Structure 1
Amino acid sequence: MSDPTRVLVTGGSGFVAGHLIVRLLADGYLVRTTVRNIEREKAIQRTLVRAGADVDRLQVVAADLNSDDGWAAAAADCTFVQHVASPFPARQPANEDDIIVPAREGTLRVLRAAAAAGVRRVVITSSFAAVGYSPKPSGTPYDETDWTDTSGAVSPYVKSKTLAERAAWEFAAQPGRPELAVVNPVGVFGPLLDDNMSTSVRHRRPAAWQAAAAASRRIRGGRRPRRRRSVDAGDDQPACGRPALPRRGRPTGDVAADRHRAA
């Protein structure tokens, strides 16, 4: 790549972000990633080096989803943003706003910073939780027109993913905003790059495989899926990285259509 393009990856100490950064660096991108605590910088670099990454083109900066501080500088000079960071608590909080507010407002902070910096495209890692956690008639598959009903009996985490993605599409539909693509995985599985047993990693156990399989059946309307709906982290690297390339048009304001076009 003769003129390297810079990509911002949020949540650089996370499982998905780590694999994504390795792939982006291997593909020749300049990568800037955010962490809440800049003291994690050296540990992240060591982890990525062990994974075979050349960290000379990596920059680690501090930015927190709960604060405006640092986001303008993080997005500066970036062409693409991969927003991966989102709260994943070990247990559901007593006050649902403890997870909903940082998820929704954090996503909007990233989007506002991206828009102000002239970023071309933002890719958000959302979740099937935002799509398929409300009942549908038996045999009816889920698609990009579906949203989880947050007024129903859903957990704060599910509600946070749904409200954050809705807010993102509403933001992107306004004039002068970056292109938006959203990835809604059921589950992402793969090798750990370090010994960081984050909450999301600890939840990747046999029970999680069973939940992913059940969700896969819901996506296909109860039929056996022709393709995996749970994703290996290694296989998912192109899916995480390549949607950042400007292959689609601007949001139309029709969220269902835009979700389909971004898929």
Structure 2
Amino acid sequence: MTYLSDNDREAPVLVTGATGYVAGQLVRRLLEEGLDVHAAVRDPDDTTRVAALIALSERLPGTLRLFASDLLSPGSYAEAMVGCRVVFHTASPFTLNVKDPERELVQPAVEGTRNVLQEANRHASVERVVLTSSCAALYSDNADVQTAPKGVFDEDVWNETASLSHQAYSLSKTLAEREAWNIAEQQSRWRLVVINPALVLGPAIDEHATSQSMNLITQLCDGTLKIGVPDYGVGIVDVRDVAEAHLAAAFLPKARGRHLVAGHSSSFIELASLLRAHAGPSYPIPTRHLPKWLVWLTGPLADKALTRKIVARNIGHAFRFDNTRSRECLGLEYRPLAETLNDMFDQLVASGRLSK
């Protein structure tokens, strides 16, 4: 599906954090559409990190230019933004095991968003900014749905329960998105459109890429979790559908506001079941739930990020959501969950991270 007019292809677009998991598939789609993509990366001379982007540009009709940038350095995106009509801000840290959540998560998320959007204020060419936020800006825990006005997570819900000591990543995404809306509302030249994805899975443009999503699927298949998994409900969306959502947010004339981008309400045991159906019996994929009391007792000992509060407010709770807005306003048609997992598994095998 294409959302672009010939006029849309006349100006370059900027993608921050272009070597990221979501950004890679976004760059692929932009290049497929023949756009001039300004890819902001930490180090354009790091041939290993940018190799997959360059490979895309060599086989697709669009053009790619790499620009050095630093999320926490004001003015660092100035050169990359020159002439751009659309800015995609995807750069933000995503890590769970942190020692200093303020410094490692909140500060780069909020200050990075501020730096990019204030730079957009200085460029008359910018007409739209698409921000990659997260479902984490809607909620901290699945149990939060109990206080949601409609009994589901949707775009009207904001995270009110995250803190530095509980779901710090969710706090970073919430504060970063609020900062984006504050900056957007203080001007009238460019429009902010926000994408709030659930847990993103699916193949990366680089089979050797690393991400929390890759780690999860690897651990489900390599024996790390063979004794069982918690009954943990998760929202899932394919990374390629997230890229499509960004394209629609950027170029559909009426796109505006927040968009919860989630295709499926799933769980770790369902992911395991689907993977097992595709991978076959030779992989030590878990087949049962761990009792909640056992996870509550031992989980924090095995993983400091899995606190007892997280166990209490998520295990046994389903992810309930309404994705009507993303389907009706962005025209999204979500891939089957099995397709997402099968493609991801096959890539992990091809890369050697999972044995054949």
Question: How does the TM-score come out when normalised to structure 2?
Answer: 0.60
1:28 matches 2:46: no
Please give the alpha-carbon distance, in whole angstroms, between the structure 2 residues aligned to 1:91 and 1:143.
28
Helix, strand or coil: the match of 1:160? helix
Match for residue 202 of structure 2 among 161, 177, 190: 190
1:145-179 per-residue CA deviation (whole Å, 9 max, x = no partner) reads 21111565632211100100011011111133520
Residue of structure 1 equivalent to 2:295: none
The aligned amino acid for 1:70 is S
Residue of structure 1 equivalent to 2:175: 163
Q: How does 1:69-148 map to 2 (within 5 A)?
A: 69-89=75-95, 91-118=97-124, 119-133=126-140, 135-137=144-146, 140-148=151-159
C-alpha distance 43-155 of structure 1, shift in aligned 2 (>3 A): closer
Shift of 1:126: 0.7
Please give the alpha-carbon distance, in whole angstroms, between the structure 2 residues aligned to 1:127 and 1:215.
13
C-alpha distance 177-133 of structure 1, shift in aligned 2 (>3 A): farther
Shift of 1:132: 1.9
Asked if 2 retains the 8 angstrom alpha-carbon contact of 1:92 and 1:157, the reply is no
Q: How does 1:52-63 map to 2 (within 5 A)?
A: 53-54=59-60, 57-63=63-69
Asked if 2 retains the 8 angstrom alpha-carbon contact of 1:25 and 1:53, the reply is no
Asked if 2 retains the 8 angstrom alpha-carbon contact of 1:22 and 1:48, the reply is no
Shift of 1:212: 11
The aligned amino acid for 1:128 is C
Unaligned runs of 5+ in 2: 1-5, 258-324, 331-356
C-alpha distance 40-242 of structure 1, shift in aligned 2 (>3 A): farther
Match for residue 50 of structure 2 among 44, 48, 52: 44
Asked if 2 retains the 8 angstrom alpha-carbon contact of 1:6 and 1:29, the reply is yes
Please give the alpha-carbon distance, in whole angstroms, between the structure 2 residues aligned to 1:155 and 1:99.
11
Please give the alpha-carbon distance, in whole angstroms, between the structure 1 residues aligned to 2:217 and 2:106.
22
Please give the alpha-carbon distance, in whole angstroms, between the structure 1 residues aligned to 2:40 and 2:243.
19
Helix, strand or coil: the match of 1:96? helix
1:4 matches 2:10: yes
Residue of structure 2 equivalent to 1:214: 233
Please give the alpha-carbon distance, in whole angstroms, between the structure 2 residues aligned to 1:31 and 1:50.
11
C-alpha distance 203-175 of structure 1, shift in aligned 2 (>3 A): same
Deviates more, 1:119-128 or 1:240-249: 240-249
Aligned residues: 240
Asked if 1 retains the 8 angstrom alpha-carbon contact of 2:133 and 2:194, the reply is yes
The aligned amino acid for 2:95 is P
Shift of 1:233: 2.1
Helix, strand or coil: the match of 2:180? helix
The aligned amino acid for 1:132 is Y
C-alpha distance 211-19 of structure 1, shift in aligned 2 (>3 A): farther
Question: How does the TM-score come out when normalised to structure 1?
Answer: 0.79
The aligned amino acid for 2:135 is F
Runs of 4+ in 1 over 6 A off after TM superposition: 210-213, 260-263
Percent identity of equivalent pairs = 34
Aligned-pair RMSD on alpha carbons? 3.1
The aligned amino acid for 1:61 is F
Asked if 2 retains the 8 angstrom alpha-carbon contact of 1:128 and 1:185, the reply is yes
Residue of structure 2 equivalent to 1:202: 215
Asked if 1 retains the 8 angstrom alpha-carbon contact of 2:87 and 2:129, the reply is yes
Helix, strand or coil: the match of 2:186? coil
Shift of 1:46: 4.4
Helix, strand or coil: the match of 1:248? coil
